Chain A
Amino acid sequence: MYKLLLCIRYLRTKYIALASIISVMLGVATMIVVNSVMAGFASEMRDRLHNFLADIVVESRSTSGIPDSRHQLEVVEKAVGKFVAAMTPTVEIPGMITITDPYSGETYHSQVQIHGIDPKGKALVGPLQDYLDSYNPVIEDGKVIRPPLRKPDDPLGWELTKEAAEYRKEVKELTALQVGMSQPQAGIQSPDFDDSEASPDDNSSADSAATSPAPDSENNAAVPGDLFGPPFAGPGQEIRTDPLPARVYVGEGIISYHVEDPDTGRHKKVNTNNPGDDIILATAKTSRPPEVVNFTATIVDTFRSGMSEYDTSIVLMNIEELQKNRGMIADGRDAITSIHIRLKDYDDAPEVVARLKSAFPAGAVNVRTWEEKQGLLLSAVEVETAILNVLLFLIVAVAGFGILAIFFMIVVEKTRDIGILKSLGASSNGVMTIFLSYGLGLGIVGSSAGVAIGLIFVRYINEIETALSWVTGRKVFDEKIYYFPRIPTLVSPWMLFFVALGAIAIAVLASVLPARRAARLHPVSALRNE
């Protein structure tokens, strides 16, 4: 009993020990903040990766794909149908995008991954609609500067928004006027580009327009460009303002860049192209040896998944047009390169993967979960977190040495009291227990305070960030760099538990040596200490 009483009294009266509490507290708080932010980043990143990838991806080994998408879907359905919530066939192929600034006429190229998708199917395996610009408001400084262009229940598809169609018409008319003035007789179906570059596109677009595939007919009805009738300012020829058959959603990083406003110091997004503009895509045909195919496509929308790797390199395209351009349709059967599958319960993934592997002919496909597909990126985050934890734990260990030193001091200061206790019959173990439980008490107080501070910090991290940015005059957390509007945090109770437990353990360990020294003090020499 005296042990507890003395331990509590020491805790309450020895303010020097607060110094060691503070170091424990800061260490614990830092660990909690860092872990929460890292976990927040990791989980946010995982979500974004996962959302874009679906749960399981079946990929053909060859980029030419495997023929007959209908049959492949049936194979999947037969093998793992009961686990599958949704699936969608896709064609994924590297390619090159050529972007022409509609006003300056500058042309540049960048390499992209072209994904042929069916937007409705894609939306079933991941939240495509949330990523598309036209379904989301544009927010700047917390204010909505542009409401969503489409309603949430508008069906996903490849038609232009009203705004994009108007913009397209405007640009086309303007270009036609310019071209008409300089080259009155030039063809102006794709006036954005040089004649030599544009000629194959003209053909393909003419073909498509003639054959008029299903999505187009729907589009034509919906495109409001036609409503305006023939342009009054045209040089006598008809200007075609309806979108081309190849339609794309472009990752916003591909057609935009950030500049710093010299006046406000604020980063601003500048679009080089907008929905309604045309771009040229080039990729490989399935023929052997591979031939390059290029075609012009109309930007329907931009997307922002939040993963910059995706947003700067992926172009989502209508799958039929991609298959047609690559020559993947033969005998009325279309080839695909992968199937994205969403499961009812992700816990079934290992079984589904195993079943799918045996359902397809050996060597024909890779079946991977999204985690396996992004393994390196995910493990990089894990390694980073682990290293940070080791470093921060070292800080707490340093705090442990502080406790050790301060405890030795306290033992020296309490030498006489230890003698008194022994003269009253206290055992060496009892004296040791006093100091061990004192260490435990300090650890508990320190880590509780640390947990409290850490949690408050995490809770108000964005406000703190704003305050810090204001004080230092530069943005501490730039959302343009990190891709998050706010600092993501995720507090795991287990993490709290282990951090607190670790800190307490260190405090107790640090008090072992001083406590042993106290226990071994000879009562007489302790009492003689006047």
Chain B
Amino acid sequence: MNDTIKMTTPLIAAEAIAKSYAKGEHKVPVLRGAGLKANRGEFISVIGQSGSGKSTLLHVMGLLDSPDVGEVLLQGQRIDNLNQQARDQLRNHVFGFIFQFYHLLPELTLLENVMAPLMIRYSMLEYWRRRHEIRESAMDMIGRVGLGHRIRHRPSELSGGEMQRGAIARALVGRPEILLADEPTGNLDSVTGGEIMELLNSLNQNNQLTIIMVTHDESIAAQAHRIVRLAQGRIQTVAHEEAA
């Protein structure tokens, strides 16, 4: 792993993360000292079998979960031990999440879903002041994922691929630095999944977006700069891909 440590501080680093879940009386260890670093603009795949702890690693890095042991560093600053409010703020400003099951809010239209992170970010007064700006940036982001004609639709009226594009738009509308993707193509057919991967790749290349993607699909994982293999809660290998 030495060669990944450059002289510059990585954008995000998870160091020696251990995490176990209580299952009845037993503690089931999920992560046993896994670490992962990502530099700005990197596209990393984390690959592993079900139960290898890859989603948990992603959640810990995105501050959705806290590690039992280990640290998460954002530009060298420890962030996993911050108070709840600061963690909420970081999730809103720094991280964008996309999930296998898209997780759009069913009561809201596509546009409202995409606007949600900004609604959360601003107080009601502030939102009212910036409502045009917010709407425009949401429209812009929806346009970039190619759903400009679907803004009034509810998630239930969209196809799987459209929902995932919507989820990507939502994840990116707040201009995050890191996109955490949990099996983004896991529920899509290969063609649609390919489209989503194309979108992610272009975002990575054109916008220097740092992406950490969890998947169990080797061919999907291969599209990243770097593949991290996770098994039984530990990093097994770090495969290098030449940046195209």
Contacts and interface: CB of A to CB of B under 8 A. Distances in A.
A10 B122 CA distance: 21
Interface stretch (B84-92, B214-222, B227-235): B84-92
Contacts of B103: 416, 419-420, 423, 527
Given A423-B97, A527-B64, A2 B107 contact: no
Contacts of A423: 62, 64, 91, 97, 103
A278 B97 CA distance: 100
A421 to B, nearest CB: 7
B107 A424 contact: no
Task: Tell me what chain A mostly uses at the interface: helix, strand, loop, or mixed.
Answer: helix
Interface string B81-120: 0001100111111000101010111111000100011011
B120 A426 contact: yes
Given A6-B105, A13-B107, A425 B127 contact: no
B121 interface: yes
Contacts of B101: 530
Contacts of A10: 107
B65 interface: yes
B84 A5 contact: no
A6 B65 CA distance: 25
Contact of A524 (B64, B104, B108): B64
Interface string A475-499: 0000000000000000000000000
Contacts of B99: 527
B108 A427 contact: no
Contact of B107 (A9, A426, A427, A523): A9
Interface string B27-50: 000000000000000000000000
B169 to A, nearest CB: 13
Interface string B141-160: 00000000000000000000
B116 A424 contact: yes
Interface centre among B120, B122, B128 (most CB of A within 10 A): B120
B29 to A, nearest CB: 16
Given A1-B122, A2-B116, A2-B120, A425 B108 contact: no
A417 B105 contact: yes
A424 B107 CA distance: 16
Interface size class of B (residues with CB under 8 A): 35 or more
Interface in A422-477: 422-428, 430
Contacts of B92: 424-425
Contacts of A427: 84-85, 88
A261 B99 CA distance: 81
Interface in A393-439: 416-417, 419-428, 430
B91 A424 contact: yes
B175 interface: no
A9 B108 contact: yes
B13 to A, nearest CB: 21
A306 B26 CA distance: 80
A471 B148 CA distance: 60
Contacts of B84: 427-428
A4 interface: yes
B239 interface: no
A318 to B, nearest CB: 77
A5 B108 contact: yes
B59 A421 contact: no
Contacts of B123: 1
Contact of B105 (A420, A428, A523): A420
Interface in A1-44: 1-2, 4-6, 9-10, 13
A424 B112 CA distance: 13
Nearest to B180: A423
Contact of B88 (A1, A426, A530): A426
Nearest to B92: A425
Interface of A: 1-2, 4-6, 9-10, 13, 416-417, 419-428, 430, 522-524, 527, 530
18 contacts: A1-B119, A1-B124, A2-B119, A5-B112, A6-B107, A6-B108, A9-B107, A417-B106, A420-B105, A421-B116, A423-B91, A424-B97, A424-B117, A424-B120, A425-B88, A425-B90, A425-B174, A530-B101
Given A9-B107, A424-B117, 5 more contacts: A4-B124, A5-B112, A424-B91, A425-B121, A426-B88
